[in-house]
Chains A and B, each alone.
Chain A
Amino acid sequence: MEMEKFQYDNKIVRMFFWATVVWGVTAFLVGLTIALQIPAPVFNFGTPWLTFGRLRPLHTNAAIFAFVGNGIFMGYYYSAQRLLKARNFSDVLSKIHFWGWQGIIVSAALTLPAGLTTAKEYAELEWPIDIAIALIWVAWGVNMMGTILKRREKHLYVAIWFYIATFVTVAMLHIVNSLEVPVSFFKSYSIYAGVQDALVQWWYGHNAVAFFLTTPYLGLMYYFMPKAAQRPVYSYRLSIIHFWSLIFLYIWAGPHHLLYSSTPDWAQTLGTVFSIMLIAPSWGGMLNGLLTLRGAWDRVRQDPILKFMVVAVSAYGMSTFEGPMMSLKNYNAITHFTDYTIAHVHVGALGWNGLLTFGILYWLAPRLYNAKLYSVKLANVHFWLATLGMIFYVIPMYWTGITQALLWKQFSPEGLLVYPNFLETVLQLIPMYWTRAFGGTLYLTGALIMVYNLVKTARAGAPIPDPEIEAAPLKPIVAEAGEHKHRWLEARPVHFMILALVAVAIGGIVEFVPMFVVKSNIPTISTVTPYTPLELEGRDIYIKEGCFNCHSQMIRPFRSETERYGEYSKAGEFVYDHPFLWGSKRTGPDLHREGVGKLKKPDAWHYNHMENPRSMSPGSIMPVYPWLLENANDYATLPRKISVMRKLGVPYPEGYEDQALYDLKQQADGIVANLKESGIETSWDKEIIALIAYLQKLGTGLFPK
């Protein structure tokens, strides 16, 4: 048979290689910064751009989409060409993919600190960037499917299965969750409201973890681990079973982020049971990784690359066992809203994603630059710094989570909360926050040592030219007698992709359709009214400053919460909330009843508290927001906001656009007059006025003034 000659594209791999390194260090650095901001608010530097509420999304986006994202593409472009025996479908698409993705990251790094955010976790970027993400993602998908179709290898290897599933699922998740109506170039409102928005968001959020941080990395594991260990993969049939069960089951589990919330019970039940069933499929990947090392364990002792990989896969196993445990309602009642979740995700992020990436980087560097790794010793030092850093990070955070949950729930014999002041429960945790920051410092130091090691390695060698490869062209695909059914599928990539899409679409459809169609899921509350123009603008300031990163608006039906905050949150209260702002972590107290009952505070309290939280609650770790008192709000887009909201179903009367600013000023004047009584002189158009109006609105849906 005639052989075809072609070359692999190594340059694109090198480009993603260095992007992974640079963005990795950036993500760790921002992470360390926000870790310091918690015990020491001075690290917010009193400037809007660097406050925790704006930097925390920057950290998560940088870690997920910049560091891991580039890591995925680096590993994909190296492994897929070789597994398919074909150069990438289009070098132009590869370049568009690379520069497009970096452009998205840079625009995220500029817009998030500027306070431009949709408030949806891991999907904070505003609509123009959302469109860019969809386009670039599809560019990658086209490039991938094109390469697969012109491959010279009949069957698709398991790594490619995971890449295909990643592509179709993330495209689906991103597009459905990002549906929003623009108000201006930098502002949009989610088309979903309240409970529905929450369900869509956590369907996305949970599966971003699944299909951005897990499945593509399993693909990388299936290539780089047997390569590094030089051992055959343990079990082909395990690959098949855990692949399909994983992608099918994962999608359903999203509502486990909403346990004991206002989400209907049936959705919560689905979230719990599908999480339980995920244990074995997740562990299937870990097993196939670890058992592949049979006969190579002696080398694990010497080879830092294998060490990184072994700890990474073990961390994957731990966090995928812990996830289902946290999905049990009784355990979730303790862990949710606390640092326990933060610890959990960092076992995955620092351990699984971080260490596997490091292992791959060390494996690739000599191969991309035709030189020996500059220092195996430094790689070993990095391994220990990263592992210890992870331990110093997660153990204090587990401790913190459990401690704080118990403090929140503790009652005195008289039936009163022992720690009625939320702040008291925070102050107990400060030493642990410092320990976490220490762990982060170790991890970052290790990464910097890696940068040095990789740069030295690259300098010692030179970029290897694209290798000349010979392979026979693919023969026409015909079914073979007695062929395993899955072998049949592996030879048909389009069928494969469609089947994968069907597998991941089912869970979402089954959960969404009843939630959007059956009215009883969200019982109407007659006293819930739309936000007034001033409250709406205040809500947008709340979103802009990222208040939801530390304050939940979801009081769970526990005595310890209703005693502290007031009546628990009801689904019907959120019907005008585009987007929902339930939050996922309580670094500060819940705010859902901030405007009613025993939590209600005078306007002047809020004014002074925003200027300096420590003047009103000594020891508070909240950042200062003096600019809210200075900045005049720009109400130019108000009419547009009203009409967008009306389109989304909020019952503002026709023509209210013209009335809105007048009403806004009336309400603002009332607050200004209130403040004046307490000796505070300000004017109606300041941002603080709108924010106060919004805070005073919270909770009034159930308890009208």
Chain B
Amino acid sequence: MGKITNELIEHDYDGIQEYDNDLPGWWKALFIITIIVAAIYVPYYHFFGDSQETEYQKEMGTYVEANTGRGPFTEYASPWVGDGEITPALRAEMNKILDAPFDEQLMRTMAKADPDQLAKLQTAFPEVIAAYGAGASSSPESVLVKKEETPATAPAAGMVALTDEASLAAGKKVWETQCFTCHLNDGGGSIGPNMTDNYWIHGGDMASIVHIIKVGVPAKGMIPWEATLTPDQIMQVASYIEVKLVGSTPAVPKAPQGDLFEG
């Protein structure tokens, strides 16, 4: 507290009097401190700190610092997928190999802090580790090319539907919480096409169905589900379509669209 003299100013307004006490010391200190904080804040965060965009790039692991090479495992970056480097699916696969499947563990391993784990990854994903684990020295192009070849994103021939009851039940759940709004619960189709008639616009083999669920057909309104459903869920719901819906009899079937699949 400042000095409290309780001296009245000789003066009143409609009976209201005023003391002229000193300002409380802590209040003055608070005011000065906030001004100092502001004076430090501007240079520290604005002029020398990261811009909003840089912050975002660092969060995404796509930040490229001038002349220091690139890679998702710099001190700032996390192993999140950035501009098409390590996809969530690939990361999930890599996590499975590790003893403690968490991204922190993956990051430590990739940063070569844990040589035993790194050896495991090297055996399973020699190319990825060569690209990233060796200090991010290889050119980014090679990584991108590899990504194109990753089977996770392109339709692969010979994919087979899951038939175990647990998977089909899980697929049914996805169908009845997400897909039904456009294709109806019984698959008869409304906004989206009929899923029971074995006529397909984009191919009726398992791989094509999985592919369309993943990337969607945005122009026609089919949503890409890749970012919403896990790879397992996509597999399950595709299997549910193939095994349970195709050939069933919906209440009000929508007219067939596309070509009959004879596989």
Contacts and interface: CB of A to CB of B under 8 A. Distances in A.
Interface of A: 79, 82-83, 85, 153, 155, 157, 223, 226-227, 232-239, 241, 245, 260, 265-266, 268-269, 272-274, 276-281, 283-284, 287, 291, 412-417, 420-421, 557-559, 562-564, 568, 596-605, 608, 615-617, 678-679, 705
Contacts of B227: 416-417, 420, 563-564, 598
Given A265-B46, A269-B41, A287-B27, A598 B16 contact: no
Interface stretch (B6-14, B157-165, B194-202): B6-14
B150 interface: no
Given A83-B14, A280-B30, A598-B218, A413 B95 contact: yes
Nearest to B21: A235
B261 interface: no
B76 interface: no
A226 B16 contact: yes
A603 B182 CA distance: 11
Contact of A237 (B23, B31, B38): B23
B21 A414 contact: no
Contacts of A603: 221
A605 B181 contact: yes
Instruction: List 8 A-B pairs, minimum CB-CB distance, nearest first.
Output: A602-B221, A280-B31, A557-B56, A273-B38, A415-B88, A232-B17, A82-B14, A420-B228
A161 to B, nearest CB: 12
Contact of B230 (A245, A414, A557, A604): A414
B228 A233 contact: no
B15 interface: yes
Interface residues of B, number: 63
A279 B190 contact: no
Given A269-B41, A276-B41, A415-B81, A678 B19 contact: no
Contact of B103 (A232, A278, A413, A617): A413
Given A281-B31, A287-B27, A235 B22 contact: yes
B230 A232 contact: no
A559 B182 contact: no
Interface string B225-236: 111111100000
Contacts of A237: 20-23
A83 B17 CA distance: 12
Contacts of A85: 14
Contact of A157 (B13, B30, B42): B13
A233 B16 contact: yes
Contacts of A616: 181
A414 B53 contact: no
Interface in B208-224: 216, 218-221, 223-224
Contact of B23 (A241, A417, A599): A241
A124 to B, nearest CB: 29
Contacts of B88: 414-416
B80 A415 contact: yes
Given A237-B22, A557-B53, A608 B191 contact: yes
A617 B35 CA distance: 50
A363 to B, nearest CB: 14
Nearest to B252: A679
Interface of B: 8-9, 11, 13-24, 27, 30-31, 34-35, 37-38, 41-42, 45-46, 51-53, 55-56, 59-60, 80-81, 88-89, 91-92, 95, 101-103, 178, 181-182, 190-192, 216, 218-221, 223-231
A617 B180 CA distance: 10
Contacts of B41: 269, 272-273, 276
Nearest to B226: A598
Best-surrounded residue of B21, B51, B95, B190 (most CB of chain A within 10 A): B21
A273 B14 contact: no
B81 A602 contact: no
29 contacts: A83-B14, A85-B14, A226-B17, A232-B16, A237-B20, A237-B23, A266-B46, A272-B41, A276-B34, A276-B38, A276-B41, A277-B35, A280-B34, A287-B24, A414-B89, A414-B95, A414-B230, A415-B103, A420-B227, A420-B229, A559-B56, A559-B59, A562-B56, A596-B218, A597-B224, A600-B218, A604-B191, A605-B181, A605-B191
Nearest to A227: B16
Contact of B19 (A223, A235, A278, A564): A235
Contacts, number: 170
Nearest to B19: A232
Contacts of A415: 80-81, 88, 91-92, 103
A597 B55 CA distance: 24
How would you classify the secondary structure of chain A's contact residues: helix, strand, loop or mixed?
helix
Contacts of A598: 216, 218, 223-228
Contact of A227 (B8, B15, B56, B228): B15
Contacts of A238: 21, 23, 27
Best-surrounded residue of B51, B228, B230 (most CB of chain A within 10 A): B228
Contacts of A260: 52
Given A280-B27, A413-B103, A558-B59, 15 more contacts: A223-B16, A232-B16, A233-B17, A235-B19, A237-B21, A269-B42, A274-B38, A280-B30, A281-B31, A557-B52, A600-B218, A604-B221, A605-B182, A608-B191, A679-B190
A568 B55 CA distance: 13
Contact of A234 (B19, B81, B191, B225): B19
Nearest to B81: A415
Contact of A269 (B35, B45, B101, B231): B45
Best-surrounded residue of B15, B17, B23, B101 (most CB of chain A within 10 A): B23
Contacts of B223: 598-601
A600 B221 contact: yes
A128 B6 CA distance: 52
A274 B34 CA distance: 9
Nearest to B82: A559
B19 A233 contact: yes
Nearest to A154: B11
B35 to A, nearest CB: 6
A245 B46 CA distance: 24
A153 B13 contact: yes
A236 B20 contact: yes
Nearest to B41: A273
Contacts of B24: 287
A510 to B, nearest CB: 14
Contacts of A412: 230
A606 B102 CA distance: 39
